[in-house]
Amino acid sequence: DSGVTQTPKHLITATGQRVTLRCSPRSGDLSVYWYQQSLDQGLQFLIQYYNGEERAKGNILERFSAQQFPDLHSELNLSSLELGDSALYFCASSPSASRDEKLFFGSGTQLSVL
Amino acid sequence: TQLLEQSPQFLSIQEGENLTVYCNSSSVFSSLQWYRQEPGEGPVLLVTVVTGGEVKKLKRLTFQFGDARKDSSLHITAAQPGDTGLYLCAGAIFQGAQKLVFGQGTRLTINP
């Protein structure tokens, strides 16, 4: 158990819909990262938050947004869903935002867009 | 765009054999991390190599970072069925914040 909690574990929805994925980082960790894992693209970095502020952005679509709340949990919002958005979405956390820091990954949310 | 090429993508060998997984890039990374991922779970960090030429050992697993910090390898000696899983390399780029660039992964199957 990494200490990172993601909910829900599975999510099935239809095209055009909007969903929210939730992540609670390890106790004491200030950084939260979101990754998307698909069969053809592998693990893709989406976005990082540190202590409530956006710190780094990766290949995140404009239809996707995220935020980190004062209690440090984070939510990833996916809107106008398309079939191609079906993937595993992982949240990871780390103590700070330092160089070469170890990331602790949650078990992921499996999103299926039908 | 930084790319990390991982090979082979799939590897199926018999218990007791040795194997090497490679991770190559044209980019220089501040560090290289190796993760292992089980079905239904997130990646779990195995090791981080930071210095060019660095070698780290974790029981039967040997990790090496290339001298130029662009490539890395994972060597497993006397593979066991418990080594079965998805192995991912990830290069760290630090530009004010750390970004991890992941390879496509090597799906390893060790047959008893």
- Of residues A101 and A3, more confidence is placed in A3
> Which residues of chain B are within 8 Å of residue A4 when distances are taken between CB atoms?
42
User: What's the mean pLDDT in B4-20?
Assistant: 96
Residue B1 has pLDDT above 60, yes or no: no
Q: Which of A45, A107, A108 sits opposite B99 (nearest CB)?
A: A45
Q: How far apart are CA B59 and CA B52, in angstroms?
A: 21
Whether residue A93 is predicted with pLDDT greater than 70 in this model: the reply is: yes
Phi first, then psi: what are they for A85, rounded to 5°? -85, -10
Burial of A102 (0-12, 13-18, 19+ CB in 10 A): exposed
Mean pLDDT across A20-34: 96
pLDDT score recorded for residue B87: 97
A55 vs B43, B97, B102: nearest CB:
B97
Q: How far is the C-alpha of A113 from the C-alpha of A38, rounded, in Å? A: 13
Structural tokens at position A10:
């599975």
Q: What is the pLDDT of residues B77-86, one digit of tens each?
A: 999 999 999 9
Please give the pLDDT value at position B95.
Answer: 75
The mean pLDDT value for A42-55 works out to: 93
For range A12-39, the mean pLDDT: 96
Query: Tell me, what's the pLDDT at B44?
Result: 95
Q: Is the pLDDT of residue B2 over 70?
A: no
Q: Using CA atoms in the order B83, B87, B92, B97, what is the torsion angle rounded to 10 degrees?
A: -100
CA distances from A75 to A23, A29, A97, A106, B9 (A): 6, 16, 19, 13, 32
Distance from CA of B19 to the nearest CA of A (A): 22
Close Cβ partners of B15 (under 8 Å, ≥ 6 residues apart): B79, B80, B81, B110, B111, B112
> Which of A11-25, B7-21, B29-43 bottoms out in mean pLDDT, i.e. has the lowest?
B29-43
Pairing of strands A74-78, A19-24: antiparallel
pLDDT at A97: 78
What is the reported pLDDT for A31? 94
Mean pLDDT of B10-27: 96
CB A45 within 8 A of CB A89: no
Confidence at residue A39, expressed as pLDDT on a 0 to 100 scale:
80
Task: Work out the mean pLDDT of chain B and round it to a whole number.
Answer: 93
Nearest to B88 among A43, A44, A101 (CB): A43
Residue A99: its chain B contacts at CB < 8 A? 30-31, 92, 94, 98
Q: Is A98's pLDDT higher than 90?
A: no
Average pLDDT over residues A29-57: 92
Is the predicted pLDDT of residue B35 greater than 60, yes or no?
A: yes
What's the per-residue H, E or C state across chain A?
CCCCEEECCEEEECCCCCEEEEEECCCCCCEEEEEEEECCCEEEEEEEEECCEEEEECCCCCCEEEEECCCCCEEEEECCCCHHHCEEEEEEEECCCCCCCCCEECCCEEEEEC
